[in-house]
Structure 1
């Protein structure tokens, strides 16, 4: 090796040195020898508990690999970690909840993990309803503080992902009809850019970058904190939920019922989620969760067509906004949040609902369960979220391309054991089902929510053809060397 360790330790740029030229020990030397601004900043390496805590992911399918991790205690140390990595051309990934599962993350080998876990503060101004959170705050961290302050905000359907990471891709959830997307509540960001500079990003400061980061944010920087406008509680924060199990004899009629909510029949307060599951006692069934953000009498009107099908009713219950996500489905959120499983996911956005498509796909899921018992944790989940509030925001306001979406379809494959052929089997089936759903989605081609993207979709599917020219130009301005390239990377020129 022709470079010198003194140069590494000094943090000097080394022209012509690429990641492959640096051994694992050399990379570790760069970060262990650095002077950090806070004694609380942790540098760790493979084999240690702190490294495991800083890098463990929700999904181990096509995951990145690291030679070292840095867990900064301050924003300044986040910037220093980025500067050291870029000056030595060491690939890196900054993470909060580590629930991203696109296969493009697996393109990072022997790099640096920047764990934002210590940036976990939640601050709320009760008088204005403005909330500022650290870059690693998870949805579970905000539920109680937000509710106790007398507010609510759009969230996803799982408590453990990092809120900032979800927001940067759009931030969809069950109350998009009432509250819109997470990016619609976003007021400002603190961002470490590719050159290690910390900047404010908002409508008034670097507005072009603010546009880009609301929908494609993983491509432009590391967010150390984010500020949101909270919403007053709707219905005093009370949400009604009906949960039921459908046996195969009810599938056809149920999907025809769901199809009736196409067009203008889906009210802003409604949300409908259904997932095919395999139960050891009951076999293949569909678990459904219908929720209503409003008073009991209106909720009962909404639930009546479902109940008229005579499913196995698990319960109808009222939940507070701050505990609904973690309480529904018998508290299955805790199980869904366990790290370290194989999760291979394909996704489709849809404007239309198609009973025939749903029925066909679920029948094929049942056949898949029979053929592959080790993969019976897999599912097809269809989440139907109204979009009235999301559509109220002009399309050119943010980089997010799919505001017309009402159904988010996730094909989630997971398996146990060492069956090497299952990856090929599920890849083929995932692509087949994705094409089937896309054909009746109402979009002219595949539209894919970037936070759920598998990673093999076209750029147009993930970012929208009308958004890409501006995104590529901004990528060239803010990240010309593409250091933020491992999460569904953008080009610096389009077309």
Structure 2
């Protein structure tokens, strides 16, 4: 025991002397820091649980523990811990606080921010082993761990007779989405994913695991629903779910089609005229992309109606009148992501792509604004063949249930939002010319579209934020004073500093 304690003390002293202040000690090499961190993590005094994995570059498990959906401004790691128990999550946070180890929690690896790249040679706290999915039919709740992704809950929920708010892709972590707010096709009927939250288990900067809910740590409960990555690591979350019987037995009507660019403006005008605002039970995802077979730009569309086909055809009459070649079907709720949009989900979820996004919230729909963005990205496609896997995505959702939640209920600031505009650029990681062009065109498209969003300034949903936006445009100027106070209260040493970090004082 004495030997183990001495080893821990010596390793900590070495770590602090070599890595604690890189600016003051420029001779401290990355290799020395890696060796130090390895010594700390492999010391027998750690007493990791048998199902906890510690890995390092070159280990078979290290790549999975650090994998990301986007490698834009990606963090780099010298080590990874994949805890198997909540106690080991606490242990990692205590080590990070005690020894000044920069770290970031990873659930589905889907997070995206320019600030991620500030974490270099740090520690990945990989939560993928917390992938449990539990449905309580009597209580009508779903409890998941941070390693559970949307694709893990769809079939179990449906088979048990339930549904819940989800996003547009299968690969993000359910909890990761929820703590940023969580937007999707059911915003009109059910609100945000965060609005379905009942409680969470959270390990804070003090290393203590606690249950957070409306009645337990209510100030923290307010903050984690919209800015959760700043306040701790969530080990489980419980959501309220809805019965399929309450919504056409879980069946939805899907309408998919493509239109050439020549018809795009007329189509956009139909949407602006008839669907702004969108009905509560109707949602659309439009993709403005490049058809590599025909070598032209096009508009792909997926419309989902929560209800019967007869009612759907009435609601979609202006769209059906366009005369496009449609694919339509009645499908179960749990198959929306897999089937809709011509099955784009697997491609959209491929990891380790340099996805480079420029996003904005939409309060109103603007045909002119969309068309201008389409013209600009078409110009990008024509001049930059290496970037033709890029796209503009328009998510158009109802917001009736979202807006019905009082603004004071959560820290999520955009209760009036009705959609999201994303210019997302994809290219080969070694193609620096296309990357440079993407940066130029992305900034231009975002700037062009900002006046058409319905907001007086360019606002953005935190899970879609690039990280170069003013912090007020992400978290809301009216929310920031309280958020900053809570950040100072619950994370005074700023351990959770890399995912759209909050200040500890504002203004």
Structure-2-length-normalised TM-score: 0.94
Q: Aligned pair 1:442/2:454, yes or no?
A: yes
Q: Aligned pair 1:320/2:313, yes or no?
A: no
Q: Aligned pair 1:421/2:433, yes or no?
A: yes
Aligned partner of 2:506 in structure 1 is 494
Of 277-286 and 362-371, deviating more is 277-286
1:249 Cα offset (Å): 1.9
Distance 1:11 1:449, change over 3 A: farther
Aligned partner of 1:288 in structure 2 is 301
1:11 Cα offset (Å): 9.5
Distance of 1:12 and 1:237 partners within structure 2: 58
Of 215-224 and 299-308, deviating more is 299-308
1:361 Cα offset (Å): 1.0
Distance 1:76 1:13, change over 3 A: farther
Q: Aligned pair 1:378/2:380, yes or no?
A: no
Aligned residue for 1:395, secondary structure, equals coil
CA contact (8 A) 2:353 2:426 kept: yes
Aligned partner of 2:464 in structure 1 is 452
Aligned partner of 1:32 in structure 2 is 42
Q: How does 1:241-280 map to 2 (within 5 A)?
A: 241-261=254-274, 263-264=276-277, 266-280=278-292
CA contact (8 A) 1:170 1:181 kept: yes
1:281 Cα offset (Å): 1.8
Q: How does 1:103-182 map to 2 (within 5 A)?
A: 103-182=114-193
Distance 1:222 1:280, change over 3 A: same
1:140-189 C-alpha deviation (Å, 9 max, x unpaired): 11111111121110000000100101001000001100010011000111
Distance 1:450 1:16, change over 3 A: same
Aligned partner of 1:23 in structure 2 is 33
Distance 1:476 1:417, change over 3 A: closer
Aligned residue for 1:226, secondary structure, equals strand
CA contact (8 A) 1:381 1:410 kept: yes
Distance of 2:128 and 2:501 partners within structure 1: 24
Q: How does 1:298-317 map to 2 (within 5 A)?
A: 298-313=311-326, 315-317=327-329
Aligned residue for 1:49, secondary structure, equals coil
Aligned partner of 2:9 in structure 1 is 7
CA contact (8 A) 1:36 1:77 kept: no
Distance of 2:86 and 2:11 partners within structure 1: 21
Aligned residue for 1:402, secondary structure, equals coil
Distance of 1:69 and 1:11 partners within structure 2: 21
CA contact (8 A) 2:427 2:435 kept: no
Distance of 2:313 and 2:293 partners within structure 1: 30
Q: How many residues align?
A: 490
CA contact (8 A) 2:68 2:110 kept: yes
1:292-336 C-alpha deviation (Å, 9 max, x unpaired): 0011111112232222212232x1011111111112233221121
1:47 Cα offset (Å): 1.1
Distance of 1:487 and 1:106 partners within structure 2: 10
Long gaps (5+) in structure 1: none
Aligned residue for 1:396, secondary structure, equals coil
Aligned partner of 1:200 in structure 2 is 211
CA contact (8 A) 1:19 1:91 kept: no
1:417-456 C-alpha deviation (Å, 9 max, x unpaired): 6331333322222222112222111111011010011010
Aligned partner of 2:3 in structure 1 is none
Aligned partner of 1:225 in structure 2 is 236
1:474 Cα offset (Å): 0.2
CA contact (8 A) 1:19 1:90 kept: no
Residue among 42, 48, 55 paired with 1:44: 55
Distance of 1:19 and 1:172 partners within structure 2: 40
Aligned partner of 1:393 in structure 2 is 405
1:403 Cα offset (Å): 1.1
Distance of 1:335 and 1:286 partners within structure 2: 17
1:235-274 C-alpha deviation (Å, 9 max, x unpaired): 110011100000122111101011114544x210000111
Long gaps (5+) in structure 2: 1-5, 23-27
Distance of 1:290 and 1:5 partners within structure 2: 61
CA contact (8 A) 2:70 2:351 kept: yes
Distance 1:109 1:10, change over 3 A: closer
Aligned residue for 2:415, secondary structure, equals coil
